A and B are shown apart, each in its own frame.
Chain A
Amino acid sequence: MTQALRLERDGRRRQWDRRVRRARELRDRHPAAAAALGLYEEVLKFQADVAGDFTPAPHGEYSLREQIDIVYISSQVPSILTLAMEHGPSTLSQHARMLRDAGGVCWESMAEAAVTYAVAEMHPLDSFFFRACLQPVAESLQSRLPDLPGYSKNVCPACGGLPQLSVLRPEGEGASRFLLCSFCLREWLFRRILCPWCGEEGKEKLPFYTAEEFVHLRVEACDTCKRYLKAVDMTIDGRAEPLVDEASLAVLDVWAGEHGYSKIVGNLLGF
């Protein structure tokens, strides 16, 4: 491995380590989500190990999803199953036991499904394990892809995935909105005041909701399609880790559900 590739891989590993630390930090701040964050911290450590282990060799001829080694993903499944049995709630833990007994052939076919857009039809209890393995691998693959200036669609430019969350990053005296991919964790620039699901642009139809208790998170909703995403505002808390901060505020997902909104894509923890 070249020095450059090693440095890049170490950089990706450090990003995952920051996420682990953030999960630990947020556990005290959000006691109602402590169990979920406790599991997530362990998952992030597992994902950090996968990222530290895996060196992508992107192939220009194939799409990102086609380049994912299903056998490699299956080989990571036993670790995440064990993790879920040790740290997950009983529903997840029992499901992990069942999958463990199902064995490698089953895991490979489930991994195949999780790599395609059919992941939408998988139950979160199944997709949890495969998304956990796929995220660090897909992230490593997309990290070597160049930016696409002028790209403004609502699906990921690297893998076609749906957005998991929004990130607001400082831009002059305002904030640019980036969408973060639910599959490969890539961020791409997306317009403000525009629904990522249905394309609604009317300002009265696009409210955002903030809780006084934690203003750096918003629920970006659309009253036309009733979908939402949570947004992490880095102009308010620059130390946030978008993936982790979004997951920690499951209470906002509960609130959104109670008010008739449904998320574009559930996060790894099922919120």
Chain B
Amino acid sequence: MDLSRRSFLKTGVAGAVGASVLGFDLQPLYAQSSTLKISRTTETRSTCPYCSVSCGVIIHTIGDRAKNVTPQVVHVEGDPDHPINRGTLCPKGSSLLQDIVNDRRLLKPQVRRPGSDHWEDISWDQAIEEIAARTKQLRDATFVEKDANGKTVNRLDSLAFAGGCTDTNEFNYLVVKSMRSMGVTCLENQARV
């Protein structure tokens, strides 16, 4: 970006004291400037996680680093510069902000007991315990070492795993390793991107 032929000095708005370069009174502007509620926003390019189209998005995050405010995502829009979608988004992509900030997001595990009509909170430890116990029980009972033709298959067809497209690559790696090592074949990570 060669702008070397432009020798603009870094001039400000002020000319004479209290007046702009053309002579406008700056006092009302200084007074108004001190009352403004200014937000500082940064824009981050990212990719919509939902499907293999992988539309580009721009995420707006508000945060004034100096005041130690926790950065907060306030807006997600289509990325107009992205060659795939050029700023367009489907309804799921358009609502990505809700993915991040909606107060009805699940923040803890829940369980619905057999025959029950409602979900109950459950701790992470207890959830992992129960899942592990049931998984072992199921695998011990239904693991198939050899198929009908006597070929070694080491399959666990009675267990399926469903992931989600918003899961990270790191999480998906662990899913694949753990599930495949147990013999699971029905595995859907919805990993598209």
Contacts and interface: CB of A to CB of B under 8 A. Distances in A.
Same complex for A and B? Answer: yes
Interface of A: 31-33, 35-36, 88-93, 117, 120-121, 123-125, 128, 153-155, 162, 171-177, 191-193, 197-199, 203-204, 206-213, 226, 250-251, 253-255, 257-258, 262, 264-266, 269-271
A115 to B, nearest CB: 15
B38 A265 contact: no
Contacts of A271: 13, 20
Contacts, number: 165
B33 A254 contact: yes
Contact of B37 (A177, A212, A262): A212
Interface string B1-28: 1010111101111111001111111101
Contact of B78 (A90, A117, A171, A193): A171
Given A89-B23, A125-B22, A262-B10, 9 more contacts: A32-B29, A91-B16, A172-B78, A174-B57, A192-B80, A251-B33, A253-B13, A254-B32, A270-B22
B32 A251 contact: yes
- Interface residues of B toward A: which range? 35 or more
Nearest to A255: B33
Contact of B80 (A171, A203, A212): A171
Nearest to A200: B1
A254 to B, nearest CB: 5
Given A91-B22, A121-B7, A32 B28 contact: yes
B87 A172 contact: yes
7 contacts: A35-B24, A91-B22, A128-B22, A154-B1, A162-B3, A250-B13, A250-B20
